[in-house]
Amino acid sequence: MMLRFGGADMKFPSIPDKTPFTPLVVMELAEDTNEEAVTWLTSRIKDTQQSGGAELMIDRLTLDDNQDPKKENQNIFIVGASRERLLVGAEDVGLVKEFNDGSMRGFTYANRENFKGFQGDGDNFLSMAECQFIVKHELDTLRARGETHVPGYPKIRLYPGKSVVRRIQSKGILVQIFPLHDKEELKRLSSMWYQNVQLSFQPLDDIRHYFGESLALYFGFLEYFTLAMVPMALIGMPYYLFDWEDYDKYVLFAVFNLVWSTVFLETWKRFSASLAYSWGTLSRKKAFEEPRPGFHGVLGINPVTGRQEPVYSSTKRQLRIYLVSVPFVLLCLYLSLCVMMVYFSAEGLVLGLHDEEPTFWTSLLLYVPSIIYAVVIEIMNRIYRYAAEFLTDWENHRLESSYQNHLTLKVLVFNFLNCFASLFYIAFMMQDMQLLRQSLATLLITSQILNQFVEAFLPFWLQKRRNKRVHRRSGKVSPDQELPFDQQVMLEADMSTYLGTFDDYLELFLLFGYVSLFSCVYPLAALLAVLNNVTEVYSDALKMCRVFKRPFSEPGADIGVWQLAFESMSVIAVVTNCALIGMSPQMKSYFPDSETQLILVVATVEHVFLAFKFILAFVIPDVPRHIQIKLARVEFESMEALKKKKLMEAAAIQNKEQ
């Protein structure tokens, strides 16, 4: 049997002397894993579902003779599955696929022939990313039955219902688990996506096909965000070119900016709903979420499932959050403000020194505070990130999603303050618009260059060197030549792991802040942001395809907490822009007698804008009408089917009674 994915035949050689299967997922166990545990694990994975196994295929990776067997880890396993198993699994994970009538429906194995694209045995029906996601899900839901501990490890306890893979992963027996790249498919995707500089949209459907919905939504958002900023960039250009210092024009620009950012965020919701609908994640029913690997507690009864599992009092967690985490975050914010104040006073000091006795050394000294401040901020960011992860871990959230939300919130608040506090200080305390513009430009340009270098090009270059080394060792000179399967697996196992879209979204979030918060004093920001985003698309695409291990596809229907973050930012932008305009000399000249009146007018305008924003967000529906109709139709049909079934049952009962 040969599974074919996405139309391209898989060219990996099957493992000799055993039932051949298409390799999908790699599990790397620790080198010194007890053989007893290995035997137990593989047999549990191979067992049929009826006897509580995962019913998957698993084989140890046999290494080529070229390699020194002592140097390489022998405990690398390749996991695959039969076609039927994958189709049954697709139903388990709640995959939604296009039906023959064009609507999106939950896939069921029994009804498989009625889905679009299901031909013959269903060879091309599931994409490789979907198969890998299914295998991951089946491994994750492989549960302990009677075992009290992992065989060979009396200390690693188990209880009925505990996910085996999560336990061995959190205990370090399972070093890593990752899906394999598909070289052919990847080549095709790369050429469409980033290898040729071209004026076209990103191939979102193909990205989703290869990397899954969450990542495709990130790239979709990146593109949408970039396009949305093009009009602002165009309108902002003449301000720079003609050196317009006229605040009337700035007001116009700011008003356009405010309306635009609201509309952009609302229409993105609609666009992402369309994408998610066509990818089947909008109507996907969420499966019951398992506790995250790091979650611990006293063994008790889960009130929802009635199963034995660790439980942890939610009151305790709330106490930890409100009595420890929140004060800690507030303290860090305060510290960061203090550091900023120190920076500004140091800057003032140095400036004073230079003004008194301008020498070469004092002019050099001028740069010292900024450099130190930049370094300190970077260090603080990193320390805080660790602290935030530690704290969120310590809060002991049961679900991965809730863990992620709490972590995101913590990091977001701190980063926001770190990035923007100094700009706010310059804008509202020093009221130095020239300096504000300079700082904005410096921040935008340096962060763009630094980010993309550190984040994509440097790792890409390192990875390329590593690839070359592996190629050389295996005797293939050209990097275009294919490696033997085992070496390819080892190469991918060595690649860095992509840690999720968090940092990528964070970057966009800060960029959005630079553009929207101070748009009325620096209209060029939008142009710089557009330039940044265009290169960002390429560098992000490069890093996904060439630098990182393939990530497991994650189904997602929207950008989640980031939508809220962007919306909050646009609310703050209304406030700052109104304040900036109120502070401008032109505005002040309209109210020469009374500053009070000026402030009242500005405050009123601000409130009107905020009200307008909320009304706009309320009036624009989040899901486009044609998709609402499609969703309603599927629901209506299933209700009708249920009704018909019940009517027939009732009739049968009546007939029996007569």
Residues of the shown chain interacting with its own copies in the complex, contacts defined by CB under 8 A: 49-50, 88, 91-92, 108-110, 287-288, 303-306, 314, 575, 595-596, 599-600, 603, 607, 625, 629, 632-633, 635-636, 639, 643, 646-647, 649-651, 653
DSSP secondary structure, 558-599, as one string: S-THHHHHHHHHHHHHHHHHHHHHHHSHHHHHHSSS-HHHHH
Cβ atoms 403, 292 nearer than 8 A: yes
Q: Which is nearer to its own copies, 364 or 600 (CB)?
A: 600
Given a contact cutoff of 8 angstroms between Cβ atoms, the answer to whether 392 and 324 are in contact is no
For its own copies, give the closer residue by CB, 103 or 190: 103
- Taking the complex as a whole, the smallest distance from the CB of residue 239 to its own copies amounts, in Å, to 28
CB of 268 to its own copies, least distance (A): 21
User: Could you tell me which of 185, 188, 193, 184 has the C-alpha nearest to residue 542?
Assistant: 193
The torsion region of residue 78 among left (phi > 0), alpha (psi -120 to 50) and beta comes to beta
Minimum distance, C-beta of residue 389 to its own copies, in the bound complex (Å): 22
Output the smallest distance, CB 643 to its own copies, in A. 7
Alpha-carbon dihedral 360, 366, 372, 377, rounded to 10 degrees: -150
Which one, 31 or 84, has the nearer CB to its own copies? 84
Q: How far apart, in whole angstroms, are the C-alpha atoms of residue 464 and residue 487?
A: 15
Kindly tell me the burial class for residue 515, based on how many C-beta atoms sit within 10 Å of its own C-beta (0-12, 13-18, 19 or more).
buried
Give phi and psi for 297, each to the nearest 5: 175, 180
The residue among 74 and 305 lying less far from its own copies, judged by its C-beta, is 305
Residue 621 CB, nearest distance to its own copies (Å)? Answer: 11
Cβ atoms < 10 Å from Cβ of 167: 20
Q: Cα separation of 509 and 300, whole Å? A: 41
Please state, in angstroms and rounded to a whole number, the distance separating the CA atoms of residues 90 and 370: 55
Residue closer to its own copies (CB basis): 470 or 620: 620
Residue 634 token pair? 């599927």
CB of 81 to its own copies, least distance (A): 14
Q: How far apart are CB 650 and its own copies at their closest, in Å?
A: 6
Task: Please return the burial class of 11, using the count of CB atoms within 10 Å of its CB with bins 0-12, 13-18 and 19+.
Answer: exposed
Q: How far is the CB of 307 from its own copies (least distance, A)?
A: 10
Alpha helices in 8-53 (DSSP H): 35-46
Choice between 144 and 215, CB closer to its own copies:
144
**For 193, which DSSP code?**
I
Nearer to its own copies, 29 or 88 (CB): 88
User: Which pair of structure tokens corresponds to residue 34?
Assistant: 């007890």
- Measured CA to CA, the distance from residue 239 to residue 249 in angstroms comes to 8
For its own copies, the closer CB: 84 or 482: 84
What residue type is 618 in one-letter code?
F
Taking the least distance from each CB to its own copies, the nearer of 208 and 317 is: 317
Considering the complex, what minimum distance in angstroms separates the CB of residue 572 from its own copies?
Answer: 9
Least gap, CB of 629 to its own copies (angstroms):
5
Taking the least distance from each CB to its own copies, the nearer of 248 and 640 is 640
- Joined together, the tokens standing for residue 296 give 């611990």
Q: Residue 614 Cβ, how far from its own copies at the closest point, in Å?
A: 9
Residues 6+ positions from 627 with CB-CB distance below 8 Å: 273, 274, 277, 282
Residue 43, classified by CB atoms within 10 Å of its CB into exposed (0-12), middle (13-18) or buried (19+), is: exposed
**Residue with smaller CB distance to its own copies, 338 or 575:** 575
Q: How far is the CB of 599 from its own copies (least distance, A)?
A: 5
Specify the residue, 338 or 647, whose C-beta has the smaller distance to its own copies.
Answer: 647
Which residue lies nearer to its own copies by CB, 375 or 575? 575
Q: How many CA atoms lie within 13 A of 380 on its CB side?
A: 22
Burial class (CB in 10 A: 0-12, 13-18, 19+), 60: middle
Minimal distance in Å, beta carbon 610 to its own copies? 9
Question: Which sign does the torsion angle of CA 195, 197, 203, 207 carry?
Answer: positive
